[in-house]
Amino acid sequence: MLQTKIYLDNAATTKISDSVFEAMLPWLKEGYGNASSIYTLGRQSAIALTQARAQCAEALGCEPREIFFTGGGSESDNWAIKCTAHAMAKKGKKHLITSVFEHHAVLHCMESLEKEGFEVTYLPVYENGIVKAEDVKNAIREDTALVSIMYANNEIGTIQPISEIGAICREKGVYFHTDAVQAVGNVHINVAEQNIDMLSLSGHKIHAPKGVGLLYVSKKLRLAPYIEGGAQESGRRAGTENIAGIVGLATALTEAEKAIDEKNAKLKKYQDRIIDELSKIDRVHLNGDREKRLCGNVNFSFEGVEGEALLLQLDLKGIAASSGSACTSGSLDPSHVLLSIGLPHEIAHGSLRISMSEYTTDEEIDELLTVLPQIIEKLRSMSPLWEHILKGETFKIK
């Protein structure tokens, strides 16, 4: 039986860490009380919830009452964007600013708001995959309701100038949301210092379970609920709290925050090694800025190679990675992220995302760097396109 031995798709999801699992277990078994119930079993859940909220607030640099637990990153993005937009529309502000390469949880919200009559400015990200803070400044208008720019891109790992954008939004009096799902646990975040009004994060990208996340909402905003029903989360997010998931999220967030520097020191070495080695291969392109990127992310395009074929060959060797993003694989369109940095379709199709975690080892990187160049050579030797590419009948990269 085939087996995944080397997991290099941590931007798609991560495994639950042992300590997160241990912290969650009591809340899945004996601690099953409803946090709204008055008796001891319920109060124990309520205490766990309070403690988890305090832990998350500590990790992000905010107050516990500014933390709202949700069902994950997508829900947090939907809530922040749609509810802010609708509230601001009542004040006559119907203009939104975002970037072209956001996660679909943000982009699809923007598109549905456009159908409702909002106007959206999609900022470019240039060849390096980074939004210019100055572009944000120039795009802000009298009627701008919200700026939403992701902290780090999920496909190419580029880190955006969030502090600068936050300062601009503060100065102009415009609300600022960031999807920090990929950044959390990889860069130091302090929402107060960085002038962030709303921040989305997700458990399953940081070794907590799937289906739990949070939205930080600055206390100066009275964001209306997105999920309506009960009075949970101060009446702002209905639904019986997922105590085990929330405890897992808080544990993961605390641990990730503490381990950032140590983890990055290790992953930067792996990243440098991978980039140096893969750059030796003919006709390859590193996607996204060389320096301003998450230490755990490498994204390359290989001319004359089909991304899906590459993934299948890697899978045969027990290596899990991604081409484009997990959400777009299965579709034939190249990812909007790779197109946004100016890659032609043909080259975007031959891309590979390697995303590491603190569990990644030297041996795994050795294996990857042994296997990958061989696979590329094999695929190119089978490709009818490769001959043409070598003869210079090639698609040029800008």
- Residue 116 CA to residue 50 CA, distance in Å, equals 38
Asked if 110 interacts with ligand PLP (CB under 6 A), we say: no
8-state DSSP, 204: G
The four Cα atoms 17, 23, 25, 26 give a dihedral, to 10 degrees, of 180
- Ranges within 260-319 binding ligand PLP (CB under 6 A): none
Shorter beta-carbon distance to ligand PLP: residue 205 or 283: 205
Burial class of residue 168, CB neighbours in 10 A (0-12, 13-18, 19+): buried
Strands 351-355 and 297-302: antiparallel
Shorter beta-carbon distance to ligand PLP: residue 195 or 355: 355
Q: Whose CA is closest to 22, among 186, 226, 248, 230?
A: 248
67 beta partners: 216
- Range in contact with ligand PLP (rule: CB under 6 A) among 71-79, 121-129, 214-222, 239-247: 71-79
265 contact partners, CB below 8 Å, separation of at least 6? none
- Range in contact with ligand PLP (rule: CB under 6 A) among 70-78, 299-307, 314-322, 369-377: 70-78
Asked if 218 interacts with ligand PLP (CB under 6 A), we say: no
Asked if 103 interacts with ligand PLP (CB under 6 A), we say: yes
Asked if 55 interacts with ligand PLP (CB under 6 A), we say: no
DSSP 26-39: HHHTT----TT-SS
Task: Determine which residue in the list 24, 62, 150, 278 makes contact with ligand PLP, applying CB under 6 A.
Answer: 150
Asked if 322 interacts with ligand PLP (CB under 6 A), we say: no
Asked if 73 interacts with ligand PLP (CB under 6 A), we say: yes
Asked if 189 interacts with ligand PLP (CB under 6 A), we say: no
Shorter beta-carbon distance to ligand PLP: residue 33 or 245: 245
Catalytic residue among 83, 109, 295, 327: 327
- Range in contact with ligand PLP (rule: CB under 6 A) among 25-33, 72-80, 156-164, 290-298: 72-80
Asked if 205 interacts with ligand PLP (CB under 6 A), we say: yes
Q: Is 327 a catalytic residue?
A: yes
- Residue 63 CA to residue 52 CA, distance in Å, equals 12
- Residue 303 CA to residue 353 CA, distance in Å, equals 15
Task: Determine which residue in the list 44, 121, 160, 182 makes contact with ligand PLP, applying CB under 6 A.
Answer: 182
Contact 283, 301 (CB under 8 A): no
Asked if 44 interacts with ligand PLP (CB under 6 A), we say: no
Shorter beta-carbon distance to ligand PLP: residue 9 or 179: 179
Contact 120, 148 (CB under 8 A): no
Residues that bind ligand PLP (CB under 6 A): 72-74, 103, 105, 150, 154, 179, 181-182, 202, 204-205, 213
* Catalytic residue ranges: 327
